[in-house]
Each structure stands twice: as C-alpha cells, then as structure tokens.
Amino acid sequence: MKRIITLLFSGLLLMTWSLQAQEIDESFVFVDDEGEVIQNGAILVRNQVVYGEENVVIYSGVSVMNAVGSNDYIKMHYTIERIDNGIYQICFPTTCNMEDEVGSFETGQGQLMSDVQDIMSEWFPAADGECIVKLTIELFSREGFFPPTYVHKAFGPTITLHFIKGDIPNPGVPGDVNGDGEVNISDVNAVIDMILSQSGDTAGDVNGDGEVNIADVNAVIDLILNQ
C-alpha cells in the first residue's frame, strides 16, 4: 500500500517539477559566498551577528549571478513576511530600500555591474527576534532610450531568508520530517511510515494540528510543490 501511494505521489511531483522548470528563467540565479548556485525554493537560515561601529547587522551572504551572459535588466521583488524589530535593507541592482514592516516591495530595474553582484540583503535588528524575507528575480528587456521602456520577460528563482538573532530555536526547514535539511519525496515517505506504524512520532505533525495523518502528507506535498 505504501509503495503504491509513494509511486503516485512521485509521479505527481515529477510532472509538477517539470512544468515549474519551464516557467522559471534561470539566466540569473542566486549564489552563496562560495559561488555555489542556490536552488529555487531554498530556505536559508542566517544567524551570524556582526557588530559594526553603529549597527548590529546579519548578512544574507547571497549574490546574484548572470549565468548565461544575458543583456537583460533585472529587479528584485521581496516580501517581508515577518520583522520583529529593526530594519531590513536591500540594495540591488542600483537602488537601496529600507523597510521596517511586513509587506511586498520591489527594487528598480538595472543590470548587474559584473557577472556576480552582492545584493546587500541584510537585517539590522534592534533586539532579539526574527526577520523572514522572500526574494524573487524578475527579468526585463529594454526598449528605446528617451525614455526607455522595460518589458517583462520572465520570473527567475525564489529563495527565502530567515534571519535570527538571540536565543531562538533554529526552525530548520518546514516539512523536513526526516531531518536531512531538504523537503522532498523522502519526507512524504517518512510521514506515511509514521501513519502506518502509528509510532507516535510528532515529527510528522507538519500542519501542527496535534495528529499525524493524511493531512500531514498533503501538507508536505504542498510544501514541495510550492518550492
């Protein structure tokens, strides 16, 4: 029974990932400090506090790379899902924005100044707490010069930054039932195992309703598909 359920879920996930891969333009991608590409849908936890002369800051350590030598213009859409205190700043690619409340925002259009450009995504916390920000790249072509017109081409990858300051438990990755740092079909299997064995392991309670049942399987699938 478990094998049949797993195969059905696997087929659904593969079809959905295939469709999503066609919709996302990866001419520009997020990269970390080592230059490694950050996968679309990744959740990054940042809790290394740096004390400057005037401010406490936590850096994202994320840049954007022009992966194909594109001449497109880009902007960054960002949604602040939570900000307990302080100010979130993003500078990319030509402007700097500072916000201190939840909401959806965007930067102006521009071109990268080099193949890889630091987006200067950082949180200046005034006290202990959390700041959660989702970033999405948008690509534009430029038409004309006086004045120029920017035409939407596609959306690029999306990542989520989870900044933490203070004695707050590391939230890990939502839906990571087996604790391997990723949310994928193996987490679906783990929840099914818990349901069939009635083990009482609360790690499978993904939706937080106090029970491990088919609703948690659906919750993990939703998380995977929404990546």
pLDDT for the residue numbered 167: 78
For 76-91, the pLDDT digits (tens) are 999 999 999 999 999 9
Cα→Cα distances 43→74, 110, 163, Å: 22, 26, 11
Would you call 96 helix, strand, or coil by DSSP? strand
User: What are the chain's domains?
Assistant: 26-165 (2.60.40), 173-226 (1.10.1330)
Nearest to 189 by CA among 209, 225, 216: 216
Nearest to 183 by CA among 193, 173, 191, 192: 173
CA atoms of 90 and 121, how far apart (whole Å): 4
DSSP secondary structure string, 98-157?
EE-S-EEEE---B--SSSEEE---EEE-SSSEEEEEEEEEEEEEEE-SSS-EEEEEEEEE
pLDDT tens sequence for the chain (227 residues): 666 666 666 666 665 555 454 588 999 999 999 999 999 988 898 999 998 767 899 999 999 999 999 999 999 999 999 999 999 999 988 889 999 999 999 999 999 989 999 999 999 999 999 999 999 999 999 888 788 888 999 999 999 999 999 877 655 667 777 766 678 888 888 888 888 777 666 677 877 677 888 887 888 888 887 66
Q: Are residues 111 and 117 in contact, defined by beta-carbon separation less than 8 angstroms?
A: no
For the whole model, what pTM was predicted? 0.69
Would you call 1 helix, strand, or coil by DSSP? coil
